[in-house]
Structure 1
Amino acid sequence: MSPLDTAAAPPRNSDLEAALAEAREAYAAKRPKSAAIHAEARAVMPGGNTRTVLFYTPFPTAMVRGEGCRLWDADGNEYLDLLGEYSAGLFGHSERRILDAVKAALDAGINLAAVGEKESRLARLIAGRFPSVEMVRFTNSGTEANLMALAAARGFTGRVKTMVMRGGYHGGVLTFATEASPVNVPIPLAFTDYNDPEAATRDILAEGDGLAAVLVEPMLGSGGCIPASVEFLQALREATRRTGAVLIFDEVMTSRHGPAGLQGLTGVTPDMTTLGKYMAGGMSFGAFGGRADIMAVFDGHRPGALPHAGTFNNNVWSMAAGCVAMGEIFSASAAEALYERGERLREALNAACARAGVPMQFTGRGSMLCPHFRAGPVTAPYRATPAEDRLRELFFFDMLAAGIYLARRGMVALSLPVSEADCDRTVAAVEEFIAARRPLLAG
């Protein structure tokens, strides 16, 4: 019998709501200090936190320490960290070379209000890695990188409208699960469907010379780790060439997939690329780059250059850590090895689901993957049913009970310290989840 079940309680699996209520109760009982931290925070912070993706009920687990790919919460519970800070924690929690670089940078002075030699070194490392990046500038996050890339496209083309994908996500103010969100910046938008080459071609050509940019993730991140087909990306490339729109790949997450990101693996080269997450070793970071003629709109040596402000764009700790992360640690061979480790994990998880004959699967590429509680190919974003939402939440709580920390939505982003033994442990935990929850998975 699975450790997620007890001899006295199998009937809970006949009712999804009852199973969830029991899982939440067991979760809360094991984390009184996290509950107290949340209660205190609610007095001064709406919802008790400052980052929506980390919010869940009855309260989020408060982590207090990390080492390698392990985490410890305020109540002393230990976890295998498979969330990897939503792909930003590529190097784990205690990579000594990064810690030493950050400490040395801080010891030399924190806010210098000046350029430094490390920013050009990091820029050279990035430009040498991605086929589309001839020149690059830095920001504080992937969100800012996307905003500035769109500014570059508008400045370069003299046009205003941007086409995005339904279900795409490009940062906290560029989120497109729906076509209207009050938090989004007021940029004129057009929409098309992800992974539909014919629709995308039709919609881009219909916009014609009014379209400044097409912004796309070569694999949806928050949309469920759904990879774009090569045919879809090629269709975007051809249609934007025909209309003169700037094709922008958001590789903030997917740049970890191989030495040159997904543009390297797919062979489709955009005009611009946005980057972020792990590249500064876990420090705040974003970057946008592309063709030299497009990026020249920011060249201060030229009259009428576009402004690009940002107090912390070239902060000393991110620049120092980034040079070590990208110049010493995350080599081409390290990227390839991590990609293959993730591919093996996803294949093993899907094999476990197939053996059990349950409507559950994992999509993704390389070191990023996400569960879906439905049968059949998952190639585009979808509106989950209430039952799917509850199963996803139950999976999250059951994985926590097994000592495995992942995103509330189920997403996994492996870090370099995650071992084959850790992957085997993950497969075993998912097998136990399937065994314990089979009646609920079967509907």
Structure 2
Amino acid sequence: MAPLDVPVAPRNSDLDAALAEARERYVAARPKSAAAHARARAVLPGGNTRSVLFYTPFPTAMAKGEGCWLEDIDGHRYLDLIGEFTAGLFGHSNPRIQAVLQATIANGLNLTAVGENEAKLGEILCARFPSLERVRFTNSGTEANLMALAAARAHTGKSKILGFYGGYHGGAMTFAGGGSPVNAPYPVILAQYNDIEGTVAMIRENAADLAAVILEPMMGGGGCIPATRDFLATMRAEATAAGAVLIFDEVMTSRHTAGGLQRLHGVTPDLTTLGKYMAGGMSFGAFGGKAEVMSVFDAYREGSMPHSGTFNNNVLSMAAGTVAMGELFRDEEADALRARGEALRAALNQVCARHGVAMQFTGIGSMMQPHFRTGPIIRPYASTPAEDALRELFFLDLMAAGIYTARRGMVALTLPVGDAEAARYVAAVEEFCEARKPLLAGA
């Protein structure tokens, strides 16, 4: 009997009590994960080395994955709907990616040299993304954004960066709550996402010293909130007028078409940052754009800027990337994935509307996020304690049903997720809305 077919006992109508019950059930089912976490805490601060994977009571430790399925160290099986926060696009065991990795390993690692695959991958990316005339590789999206900002500051000779409240551009550039002590020490000013009038005023006020405007065409960590096309087009026009470099962080959103959201909206930035899935699950980042901006790294030029990184062109990422982007994820696959995600999000919102609960899903295509409130959501917001509790309760209920998402609820579909898996998620949301309806009415 599937977890969703198991009859459920009446649940507590009190949110705190319901959450306590769900936590107890979670702990009781995962003794090995609890022990693994206790052991990790002896050597890792908080028992963790990647903050997004930390949650209480303790994180579930996974043992293996195949296709779109995971198994934890306690033997539970889960439908994987987070897909390594968009990096696991191809699933856990794509045979063509595994084959190219095995062949590459057979030819040796750490060759301390350039190779043919980096040029091949560069050609593939430049052909796909409207903004890319030149591109360089990094090890992550975080590095890609830092280097893109360095390029913008060097090219313009100006220093300020304009970002957006709730934006996330990697571990050293997060603007949730306005910022973070670990952020790179750039002089950053923050505007409200999708606020055309307010952002235009800030750009014009700071134009003399504004090097770059950086944004995600859809916020990922900020709640899967899409930018309007008018907002993106206005940012394009205003950045040009101010002599600033417009940077689209498409580390996550590049999956929505073969050429990213810039291609879907027809708005071309000066620089684009990429990462996540593009090396088939290997570590990867990239930044690129106009040749005149990227020329600050051209070593043939006097006074060019260095851009080092031992693993920037590592043979595994380069080889896997040529297969992933050159053979496996082209226009047809990207369009089909976006359509599948659009249909899933529509079905989820129909469930929420039918139950009349304060819950909705935002996003584009294969990326979506639940929000426990009604009304339009056009920018990040401060959650209430009740919303935070419902978000945790939803996560724990999904885990009990054998579905793995981000702790905050974010979903990033992978290519192996099909109609049956999507229906399983819709059924889980249906059950959550039915069972928790008394708690969802006034979130």
TM-score range (shorter-chain normalised) is over 0.9
- Equivalent residue number for residue 86 of structure 1: 85
1-structure distance, mates of 2:185, 2:6: 47
CA shift for structure 1 position 180: 3.6
Are the aligned partners of 1:2 and 1:436 in contact in 2 as well (CA < 8 Å)?
no
CA shift for structure 1 position 181: 1.7
Q: Which amino acid aligns with 1:293?
A: E
1-structure distance, mates of 2:201, 2:304: 34
1-structure distance, mates of 2:189, 2:353: 39
- Equivalent residue number for residue 253 of structure 1: 252
- Equivalent residue number for residue 198 of structure 1: 197
The answer to whether structure 1 residue 96 and structure 2 residue 95 are counterparts is yes
CA shift for structure 1 position 104: 1.1
2-structure distance, mates of 1:203, 1:216: 15
CA shift for structure 1 position 66: 0.2
- Equivalent residue number for residue 146 of structure 2: 147
Are the aligned partners of 1:110 and 1:316 in contact in 2 as well (CA < 8 Å)?
yes
- Equivalent residue number for residue 361 of structure 1: 360
Q: Percent identity?
A: 65
The answer to whether structure 1 residue 224 and structure 2 residue 234 are counterparts is no
2-structure distance, mates of 1:4, 1:128: 50
CA shift for structure 1 position 200: 1.1
1-structure distance, mates of 2:139, 2:8: 48
Q: Which amino acid aligns with 1:414?
A: L
Are the aligned partners of 2:4 and 2:428 in contact in 1 as well (CA < 8 Å)?
no
The answer to whether structure 1 residue 395 and structure 2 residue 394 are counterparts is yes
Q: Which amino acid aligns with 1:253?
A: M
- Equivalent residue number for residue 122 of structure 2: 123
2-structure distance, mates of 1:361, 1:192: 25
Q: Where does structure 1 lack aligned partners over 5 or more consecutive residues?
A: none
- Equivalent residue number for residue 267 of structure 2: 268
- Equivalent residue number for residue 17 of structure 1: 16
Are the aligned partners of 1:224 and 1:411 in contact in 2 as well (CA < 8 Å)?
yes
Q: Secondary structure at the match of 1:128?
A: helix
- Equivalent residue number for residue 61 of structure 1: 60
2-structure distance, mates of 1:442, 1:5: 23
2-structure distance, mates of 1:150, 1:4: 52
CA shift for structure 1 position 105: 1.1
CA shift for structure 1 position 5: 6.7
1-structure distance, mates of 2:56, 2:337: 33
Q: Secondary structure at the match of 1:178?
A: helix
- Equivalent residue number for residue 176 of structure 1: 175
2-structure distance, mates of 1:30, 1:63: 14
- Equivalent residue number for residue 340 of structure 1: 339
Q: Secondary structure at the match of 2:19?
A: helix
Are the aligned partners of 1:396 and 1:409 in contact in 2 as well (CA < 8 Å)?
yes
Are the aligned partners of 1:142 and 1:277 in contact in 2 as well (CA < 8 Å)?
yes
- Equivalent residue number for residue 351 of structure 1: 350
| Alignment CA distance shift 1:32-1:241 (3 Å) | same
Q: Secondary structure at the match of 1:275?
A: strand
Q: TM-score, normalised by structure 2?
A: 0.98
Q: Secondary structure at the match of 2:302?
A: coil
2-structure distance, mates of 1:206, 1:39: 52
Q: Secondary structure at the match of 2:213?
A: strand
1-structure distance, mates of 2:123, 2:333: 19
Are the aligned partners of 2:4 and 2:401 in contact in 1 as well (CA < 8 Å)?
no
Q: Secondary structure at the match of 2:339?
A: helix
Q: Secondary structure at the match of 1:37?
A: helix
The answer to whether structure 1 residue 279 and structure 2 residue 278 are counterparts is yes
- Equivalent residue number for residue 134 of structure 1: 133
Q: Secondary structure at the match of 1:212?
A: strand
2-structure distance, mates of 1:291, 1:65: 41
Q: Which amino acid aligns with 1:383?
A: A
CA shift for structure 1 position 209: 2.0
Are the aligned partners of 1:274 and 1:287 in contact in 2 as well (CA < 8 Å)?
yes
Q: Secondary structure at the match of 2:135?
A: strand
- Equivalent residue number for residue 405 of structure 1: 404
Q: Where does structure 2 lack aligned partners over 5 or more consecutive residues?
A: none
The answer to whether structure 1 residue 235 and structure 2 residue 195 are counterparts is no
1-structure distance, mates of 2:382, 2:246: 27
- Equivalent residue number for residue 376 of structure 1: 375
Deviations 1:230-265 (A, max 9, x none): 111111111111011000000000000012110011
- Equivalent residue number for residue 313 of structure 1: 312
1-structure distance, mates of 2:254, 2:235: 19
Q: Which amino acid aligns with 1:347?
A: A
CA shift for structure 1 position 87: 0.2
CA shift for structure 1 position 179: 2.5
Q: TM-score, normalised by structure 1?
A: 0.98
Are the aligned partners of 2:78 and 2:404 in contact in 1 as well (CA < 8 Å)?
yes
Q: Which amino acid aligns with 2:378?
A: T
Are the aligned partners of 1:363 and 1:371 in contact in 2 as well (CA < 8 Å)?
yes
Are the aligned partners of 2:218 and 2:224 in contact in 1 as well (CA < 8 Å)?
yes
2-structure distance, mates of 1:69, 1:49: 24
Q: How does 1:41-56 map to 2 (within 5 A)?
A: 41-56=40-55
| Alignment CA distance shift 1:230-1:180 (3 Å) | same
1-structure distance, mates of 2:290, 2:112: 28
- Equivalent residue number for residue 295 of structure 2: 296
2-structure distance, mates of 1:398, 1:391: 10
- Equivalent residue number for residue 185 of structure 2: 186
2-structure distance, mates of 1:254, 1:91: 15
- Equivalent residue number for residue 210 of structure 1: 209
CA shift for structure 1 position 121: 0.2
Deviations 1:117-161 (A, max 9, x none): 000000000000000011100000000000000000011001111
1-structure distance, mates of 2:323, 2:189: 40
CA shift for structure 1 position 2: 7.3
Q: Which amino acid aligns with 1:384?
A: S
- Equivalent residue number for residue 322 of structure 1: 321
1-structure distance, mates of 2:375, 2:240: 34
2-structure distance, mates of 1:4, 1:217: 41
CA shift for structure 1 position 300: 0.4
2-structure distance, mates of 1:233, 1:105: 41
CA shift for structure 1 position 331: 1.1
2-structure distance, mates of 1:87, 1:172: 16
Are the aligned partners of 1:274 and 1:288 in contact in 2 as well (CA < 8 Å)?
yes
The aligned length equals 440
Deviations 1:355-377 (A, max 9, x none): 11111000000000000000000
Are the aligned partners of 1:4 and 1:432 in contact in 2 as well (CA < 8 Å)?
no
Are the aligned partners of 1:4 and 1:433 in contact in 2 as well (CA < 8 Å)?
no
2-structure distance, mates of 1:180, 1:258: 30
